Structure 1
Amino acid sequence: MYARLSMFRLKPDAPISFAEQWAEKTYMIHRSLKGFKGITFFGEEITNEFGAISYWETKEDALAAGDAIEVKVYSTLSKTYIESPPMIAIYGVYDLPKGNGELIFSGKFNW
């Protein structure tokens, strides 16, 4: 399995409701794409940093998703409120065996 990380910062005058609209539209597009397994959205209102981690069956699925997402989300809905193009990265995912606890990350990204 692979994870696709997308991070961006909203412009200072952007309404926080934009992040919710972005998440809803992004989810609708993701769920229609090949290999999609799930998505988690996150954000920080003080710094205007927002993002998503989506999960994909293969690395190829995660890479291919980028084209559809760019056309249907970032090129239309997002240009008005996002400061710069989103930072995108793809990672392999390590799953812990069931019953062995969970991995938790707590911290802040430095832009």
Structure 2
Amino acid sequence: MYARLSMFRLRPDAPISFAEQWAEKTNMVHQTLKGFKGITFLGEDVTNEFCAISYWETKEDALAAGDTIEVKVYSTLSKTYIESPPMIAIYGVYDLPAEKGELLFFGKFNW
């Protein structure tokens, strides 16, 4: 499994409700994409930093999702309140198998 991290900072004048709208729109788009397994949203309203960590069956699915997410979320919804383009990274998910103690990590930074 792979994780796709998308992180950005809102402008100081952005309403906090924008982050909620972004999360709802992002979730709807992700639900339609191949290999999507789930998503978690995180936010910090003092620094205005927000991120989404989405989970994918394969690295290819995580990478391919980027184009659709850019078109359907960031290029439309985000132009008004985001300070700069989001930072994106793809990570292999650390999964510690029972009794094996192996680190399964396959990742690629994509900043």
Verify same fold: TM over 0.5: yes
Deviation at 1:96, TM superposition (A): 3.0
Matched residue SS, 1:11? coil
Give the Cα separation in 2 of the matches to 1:96 and 1:18: 36
CA RMSD of aligned residues (A): 1.2
Deviation at 1:97, TM superposition (A): 3.8
Give the Cα separation in 1 of the matches to 2:86 and 2:73: 11
2:76 is matched with 76
1:102 is matched with none
Amino acid at match of 1:57: E
Identity of aligned residues (%): 89
Higher relative contact order (CA 8 A, sep 6+): 1
> How many pairs were matched up?
99
Is 1:40 the equivalent of 2:33?
no
1:13 is matched with 13
Give the Cα separation in 1 of the matches to 2:83 and 2:65: 22
Matched residue SS, 2:3? strand
Deviation at 1:94, TM superposition (A): 1.4
Give the Cα separation in 2 of the matches to 1:73 and 1:13: 20
Amino acid at match of 1:21: Q
1:104 is matched with none
Amino acid at match of 2:80: T
Give the Cα separation in 2 of the matches to 1:32 and 1:22: 16
Deviation at 1:95, TM superposition (A): 1.7
Which deviations, in whole Å up to 9, do the C-alpha atoms of 1:39-92 show, x marking residues without a partner? 000000000000000000000000000000000000000010000000000000
Matched residue SS, 1:88? strand
Detail structure 1 runs of 4+ shifted over 6 Å in the superposition. Answer: none
Is 1:65 the equivalent of 2:75?
no
Is 1:27 the equivalent of 2:27?
yes
Matched residue SS, 2:75? helix
Amino acid at match of 2:28: M
2:85 is matched with 85
2:53 is matched with 53
Question: What are structure 2's unaligned runs of at least 5 residues?
Answer: 99-111
